Every structure is written in C-alpha cells, then in structure tokens.
Amino acid sequence: MRARNYRPVKGMTYSRKEYIHGAPMPKITKFTMGNPRGEFSHRVSLTAQSDAQVRHNALEAARVAVNKYLSTNLKSTDYHFKILVYPHHVLRENKMMAFAGADRLQEGMRRAFGKPVGVAARVRSGQAVMLVEVDESALEVAKEALRRGAAKLPIPCRIVIEARAAQAA
C-alpha cells in the first residue's frame, strides 16, 4: 500500500488497543525538546490547512528535521519545540500476494478486515501540529525549521507567529 491511501480521514477512529492484537508502536517517542521551562517572547506553530491522517513515520521525520535545524543554529536553552499531535489511529491493510499462483492462496475481498500495519494522527484543518517557542532574535531560525518540517508532512501547512504577552512578575 502507498502512504497516500492512508491520508484521507474515513470512518471512525480505530484506536482501542486493548482489542487490537499486534498494533505497532509509533516510531515517534520524544514529543518535547529544548528548554520546556524557558520564558520566550514568541510562539511559532505549524498549522494544518486540511483534514488528513499523518502517519507516525512522517511525524518522526518532521521532528528530526526541525530539531536538527534548531539544535545546530541555536543552543538547547534558546528554544522549546513540541509535537502537539499523537498517533492513536491504527492503520490496517489487507495484504495481497502479487505473484504467479497467488490466486490459490488468498481470498480476495472475502473477510478483508486487514492486519495492523502502522499508526497515524488524525489532524483537522486549522489544528497546530508542531510548536516552537523562541525569542524575537531567533524567529527566522524557527520559521525555517518549521518550513523544513512541513516538507516531511503529507498535508499543506502554514506557519503562524504569535507574540506572547509579557509575564507579570
């Protein structure tokens, strides 16, 4: 199966792992990087522009790309990077054999429920997928990092910048 077959959001979420035997673990394991306790002046987020399912390996690829760019251009205390979605939805595939003689071994569409092959996060239009908090001096670095991460995701995204209010001391 191709990844584009899993992109559209169809039907109910298939996420009750107590009933799903052999559901794979998501490849993405770290969701917060950098300095989570820092006080930063700007919040830059990567926002989805359409509804879709984002597979766990796409999320991990985007996380690696963003964190690599941030860590090479900033110190680890100068940013806070967070993934805001979690891949709950279990993806299934009815595997078919595609070689000579396969017609005697498989059932076609009879009992075609499928076996678990991966997990995906369901993302709605306008939902933030990733978030980077930085000071104003590192704003361009954060925008470029999220642009590189957006290239790894299967949906069109836009970068939203918010200035946070000054913290009352």
pLDDT of residue 108: 78
pLDDT of residue 4: 77
Beta strand extents in the chain (DSSP E only): 32-34, 42-48, 52-55, 79-83, 89-93, 115-123, 128-134, 157-163
User: How does the average pLDDT of the chain come out, rounded?
Assistant: 90
pLDDT greater than 80 at residue 105: no
Hey, what are 76's tokens? 């680890």
Q: Is residue 136 part of a domain?
A: yes
Tally the domains of the chain: 1
Average pLDDT rounded to a whole number, residues 32-37: 94
Q: Is residue 46 part of a domain?
A: yes
> pTM for the full model?
0.87
pLDDT of residue 107: 75
Q: Is residue 7 part of a domain?
A: no
Q: Is the dihedral of CA 61, 12, 46, 78 positive or negative?
A: negative
Q: Is residue 5 part of a domain?
A: no
Residue 156 one-letter amino acid: P
Q: Residue 24 and residue 81: Cα distance in Å, rounded?
A: 25
Q: Is residue 12 part of a domain?
A: no
Q: Is residue 159 part of a domain?
A: yes
Q: pLDDT, tens digit, for every residue of 17-30?
A: 888 888 899 999 89
Q: Is residue 118 part of a domain?
A: yes
Q: Is residue 95 part of a domain?
A: yes
Pairing of strands 79-83, 157-163: unpaired
Indicate which CATH number applies to the domain containing 137.
3.90.1170.10
- Tell me the pLDDT band of 169, cut-offs 50, 70 and 90: very low
Q: Residue 73 and residue 49: Cα distance in Å, rounded?
A: 28
Q: pLDDT, tens digit, for every residue of 70-96?
A: 999 999 899 999 999 999 999 998 888
Give me the domain span that covers residue 64: 28-163
